[in-house]
Amino acid sequence: VEKSLEEQFEEKIANEIRIEPKDWMPEQYRKTLVRQISQHAHSEIVGMLPEGNWITRAPSLKRKAILLSKVQDEAGHGLYLYSAAETLGTSRDQMINDLHSGKAKYSSIFNYPTLSWADIGAIGWLVDGAAIMNQVPLCRTSYGPYARAMVRVCKEESFHQRQGFEIMMSLCNGAPAQKQMAQEAFNRWWWPTLMMFGPKDEESPNTEQSMRWKIKRFTNDELRQRFVDMMVPQAEFLGLTVPDKDLKWNEAKNGYDFGDVDWEEFWNVVKGNGPCNKDRINARVKAHEEGAWVREAALAHAQKRAQREAA
């Protein structure tokens, strides 16, 4: 007997065979991927803003060159991800419109301000560290174009994380005032970074189905736990104090117990009321409007070329 399309799809998922753009897939699988990949793309693009804020004020030419190229990498990640989402039948214009109208989500973390140079270190170390923890498993996600995009993204993210850690090292080995800057940045970014992994599993409406479809390979809480376990020894190495009075090694589970995230703050930021949400969207809308002439010129050029080739 011939297998139904749905059975063939389920068989591929069970056998770890990637789903490709032209394969049949359940509508809900497609929708979930468009949602996750487009949110991920928007996060990369909006994520350029807090760090871009420090390019002109980086403390040395070397730091400036490194930061500039890191921020460019984020733009590249956004573009691979928009392309991956486009293979699912959504258009880039649609995705960008949804971001600008406030309909589409992007990571909560990028709605916090970067108050000092140490924040650039903390972002590289913590935020990119969390991004890697979340994205390395996505190299094995069931949708082919998304999985393949993640391979290069993760390589670049690990360089980003090293540069963040190295900034923190320099500050922590510097004058007492520099060490204090590092601690203050750590205090500011620790809890928002833990929020990046998303709501607790029991409050995450999408996890169960996404795990079944192997879009997600680990739950939000599993990744958050792994992240804490990875970061605590690094903080100790830097001589920094984790801003959590409930943090405690738990021998039985071979990991740390840690305090509860402020979920009210998290949902407030997700709903658009974080410290920088409005600034971020305004900056993106302005950039898009100011770039209109580039899109028009590129289109005119492409049309001229097509005409010349046709002649």
Residues near ligand ACO (CB under 6 A) are 35-36, 39-40, 43-44, 47, 105, 107-108, 131, 134, 195-199, 204-207, 210, 216, 220, 270
33 vs 172, which CB is nearer to ligand ACO? 33
131 vs 185, which CB is nearer to ligand ACO? 131
In the numeric block, which tokens belong to residue 84?
Answer: 């991956």
Q: How far is the CB of 239 from ligand ACO (least distance, A)?
A: 26
Q: How far is the CB of 202 from ligand ACO (least distance, A)?
A: 11
200 vs 288, which CB is nearer to ligand ACO? 200
90 vs 220, which CB is nearer to ligand ACO? 220
SS3 string, the chain, reads CCCCHHHHHHHHHHCCCCECCCCCCCHHHHHHHHHHHHHHHHHHHHCHHHHHCCHHHCCCHHHHHHHHHHHHHHHHHHHHHHHHHHCCCCCHHHHHHHHHCCCCCCCHHHHCCCCCHHHHHHHHHHHHHHHHHHHCHHHHCCEHHHHHHHHHHHHHHHHHHHHHHHHHHHHHCCCHHHHHHHHHHHHHHHHHHHHCCCCCHHHCCCHHHHHHCCCCCCCHHHHHHHHHHHHHHHHHHHCCCCCCCCCEEECCCCEEECCCCCHHHHHHHHHHHCCCHHHHHHHHHHHHHHCHHHHHHHHHHHHHHHHHHHC
Q: How far is the CB of 64 from ligand ACO (least distance, A)?
A: 21
Q: How far is the CB of 199 from ligand ACO (least distance, A)?
A: 5
36 vs 225, which CB is nearer to ligand ACO? 36
**C-alpha gyration radius of the chain:** 21
Q: How far is the CB of 258 from ligand ACO (least distance, A)?
A: 17
160 vs 179, which CB is nearer to ligand ACO? 160
183 vs 220, which CB is nearer to ligand ACO? 220
Q: How far is the CB of 265 from ligand ACO (least distance, A)?
A: 12
Q: How far is the CB of 107 from ligand ACO (least distance, A)?
A: 4
Gap between the Cα atoms of 166 and 67, Å rounded: 13
